[in-house]
Structure 1
């Protein structure tokens, strides 16, 4: 089911639909396979503890591969090295912040990098931040601290944006 409203903790930057989370129903039915098992995700976050927590949450959700980078510059290198399907990116980092990271991706000669889904994570998710995210090319903004539920919803946004519909995994 796709809805026009963002779930709590996920603010849309480009107005894409949200795929309803059915993982609780699957768990209750004894199914462990998730729709996220085909995903490769890059986490770009300057706080090592937060990176570790996000990587563990992604693993628990069944994500196939999780890569990590400590800032925008190393994130760009990780995108080139690992070709992830989705990027979770902190906004406030040094020396290159999330806005610079996604603007560089969108200006890339590589068409895959220009369309790579990027979900920002920020402690501030107001209209100004959402407008900045949209202007830079990000697909959505997740409120920090990211929770397992908001992370599932964010992955649902990525699936709704086309990963499930045939983009390479």
Structure 2
């Protein structure tokens, strides 16, 4: 599946991790990669760039991944409410995964993210963006 048409927003508070993810996305063929350092600036980036998929770290300050996805899902904009969000976390267990899905996230990637797991996330984003 080609990812060249996908626009991806990476919301991650560690700049090194953001850079690595952006590089990996580029290697997978994604041409439009936007970055934000926390949930608040992530919401602004969603409004500015209308990405097709958001990769969002869970542990961030001041607004974490859960706050970010809740704000999106509560948005007055139907596109933002339906925007696929993939959480990234170093700590993933059944409870956390359930909480992620309950909050409105579409999937959870275990950190460190690998090219293979990133490709799976892009497939989710590409699928969600296609008319059923």
2:96 equivalent to 1:104: no
With normalisation by structure 1, the TM-score equals: 0.76
Q: What do residues 63-108 of structure 1 show as CA deviations (whole Å, max 9, x unaligned)?
A: 1200000000000000001000000000000000000000000000
The corresponding residue for 2:53 is: 86
Aligned structure 1 segments of 4 or more residues deviating by more than 6 angstroms? none
**Does 1:148 pair with 2:115?**
yes
Segments of structure 2 that go 5 or more residues without pairing to the other structure are: none
Partner of 2:103: 136
Unaligned runs of 5+ in 1: 1-33
Say which one has the larger Rg: 1
The two structures have a TM-score, normalised by structure 2, of 0.96
RMSD over equivalenced CA pairs, Å: 1.2
8 Å CA contact 2:12, 2:36 repeated in 1? yes
Q: Corresponding residue for 1:62?
A: 29
Distance 1:80 1:136 in 2: 20
Following superposition of structure 1 onto structure 2, how do residues 28-43 of structure 1 map, counting pairs within 5 Å?
A: 35-43=2-10
